[in-house]
Amino acid sequence: MSISFRKIRAKNRLINPFKDFSLDEIPLEIRFDPLTGQTGRVFDLFFKAERIDPSETVNRSEEMFCPFCPDAIEKSTPLFPPEIIPDGRIRVGEASLIPNLVPFDKYAGVAILSHRHFIPIEDLTPETMNDSFEAAQIFAERIAEIDSEIGFFSINWNYMPPAGSSIVHPHIQVNCGEFPTNEQRMQLESSREYFRKNGNTFWHDFIEAEKENDERYIGQIDSTFWMMSYVPQGFLPDIWCIFPDQCSIIDMGKNDINSFLTGLSKVFSYFNRQNILSFNMSVFSVKDEEHFRLNAKICPRLLPRPIGNSDQAYLQAVHNEPFCVRPPESLCKKVKEFFD
Ligand SMILES: [Zn+2]
C-alpha cells in the first residue's frame, strides 16, 4: 500500500492588532493530493457562513423567463436529432433531459429535475433527484452505444447562482466526450500509474487508508464510500464519494444511484445546517478502465462576506490552486452526524 498524505507546514509571523499587538503566528499548510499530487492550501480562520435568504434571488428569477418551467419546456428548449435520441428528449417521471445549448462537450445534455421552479436545498431528497439521475444515466448509455469514440462521461451540477448557475430551476448537466477535462485526465493518468507501480487500484487502498486514519472518513452507504477531501477544492471543505466497484456511470444500477443520492442528500442536510445553500458537484466516469473508479466531488459555494464577494479569487482563477479556510478534519465529525 502506498497512499501518502503529504503536507508542508509553515507559520506566518505578524504583530496582531486583535491580540493587543502581540507577536502572533498563523499556521499554513500546503497539501499534496494523494492521487494526483496537485497542491492546495489549507488555513484555519474559524470562518462560519452567514445564512443568506435565497428568496430575493428566487423572486427575481420568477420575474424572468424560465425555459425549464413546465409551460415553456416544449416550446423553448431544443430537441436531440433522432439519430441521437429518437424521441428528441429523454423523460423519466417529472425529469426531462434535453440538449445543452452550451457545447461543453461533443454530447452535452441538461436534465431538469422536476416541474418545481425552485427546490430548497433541504428538499433535495433522493426521491426528488432520482428521475434526473436516471435520465442522465440513460443518456450516457445511449451515447456510449452510438459513438464508440466516447470515453469520458460526467454528471455535473451548479446549484444556485453562487455556484455559477444562471437558471434557478434545478438541473444537472451530462457531458460525454473523447477528450478528458484536466481533472479527468489527472485522475485517470494518476490512477493508471498507481496501478502500474503497486498492482492494486488506488481507490481500494485509499478507502482503507482513510478508514484507518479516521480523520476525514465519513461513512459507507451500500456501494458508496464518503470522506472529506484531503486537499479541499473549495473555500470550505468539499466531500469525496468513491464507488469501489464501478468505473463508469454506465455500470450504475438503480441501487447504486439510490446509494449515491442517499449520501448526497445527507451532505446537503449538513450544508444546510452550515448555512451553505449553493454547491458544485461532478461525478467523474470513464467508459472502461480496469484501474479507475467512479467518483464524485461535492463542493460548497458561497458568498463569504456581506459585500457579496465570490469565494474563488486569483488563486483559483489564474494560479489553478485551491485554498480552504477550514481544515477538513475539523468538520468531519459534524458531517458524520448526518451519516450515522
Ligand atoms: Zn422554472
Give the pLDDT band of residue 251 (cuts 50, 70, 90).
Answer: confident
CA–chain centroid gap for 3, Å, is 23
* Nearby residues for ligand 1 (ion, Cβ within 5 Å): 66, 68-69, 117, 169
CB count in 10 Å sphere of residue 103:
10
Report yes or no: 190 and 227 within 8 Å, Cβ to Cβ.
Answer: no
CA of 133 to the centre of ligand 1 (A): 18
CA of 283 to the centre of ligand 1 (A): 24
pLDDT in tens, 141-173: 999 999 999 999 999 999 999 999 999 999 999
Query: Is 139's pLDDT higher than 90?
Result: yes
Percent of the chain with pLDDT over 70: 100
What is the DSSP-derived secondary structure letter of residue 18?
G
Q: What pLDDT, on a 0 to 100 scale, did the predictor assign at position 38?
A: 97
CA of 69 to the centre of ligand 1 (A): 4
Percent of the chain with pLDDT over 90: 97
For the chain, the average pLDDT equals 97
CA of 322 to the centre of ligand 1 (A): 33
Report yes or no: 234 and 164 within 8 Å, Cβ to Cβ.
Answer: no
Give the pLDDT band of residue 1 (cuts 50, 70, 90).
Answer: low
Each domain of the chain, given as residue ranges in start order, spans 63-311
CA of 301 to the centre of ligand 1 (A): 22
Helix count (H) and strand count (E) of the chain?
8, 14
CA of 169 to the centre of ligand 1 (A): 5
Query: Is 20's pLDDT higher than 80?
Result: yes
Q: Give the phi and the psi of residue 156 in degrees, each rounded to 5.
A: -135, 155
Q: What pLDDT, on a 0 to 100 scale, did the predictor assign at position 70?
A: 96
CA of 67 to the centre of ligand 1 (A): 6
Q: What pLDDT, on a 0 to 100 scale, did the predictor assign at position 209?
A: 97
Model pTM score: 0.96
Query: Is 246's pLDDT higher than 90?
Result: yes
CATH of domain 63-311: 3.30.428.10
CA of 77 to the centre of ligand 1 (A): 12
Hunting for cell 433527484 — which residue is that?
A: 129
Q: What are the grid coordinates assigned to 88, written together?
A: 428528441
Q: What pLDDT, on a 0 to 100 scale, did the predictor assign at position 220?
A: 97
Cα gap 55→220, rounded to integer Å: 35
Smallest CA-to-CA distance from 281 within 292, 295, 262, 266 is with 295
Q: Please name the residues in contact with 270: beta carbons below 8 A apart, sequence gap of 6 or more.
A: 334, 335, 337, 338
Q: What pLDDT, on a 0 to 100 scale, did the predictor assign at position 74?
A: 94
CA of 117 to the centre of ligand 1 (A): 4
CA of 110 to the centre of ligand 1 (A): 14
CA of 116 to the centre of ligand 1 (A): 7
Least confident window among 44-58, 106-120, 124-138: 44-58
CA of 57 to the centre of ligand 1 (A): 13
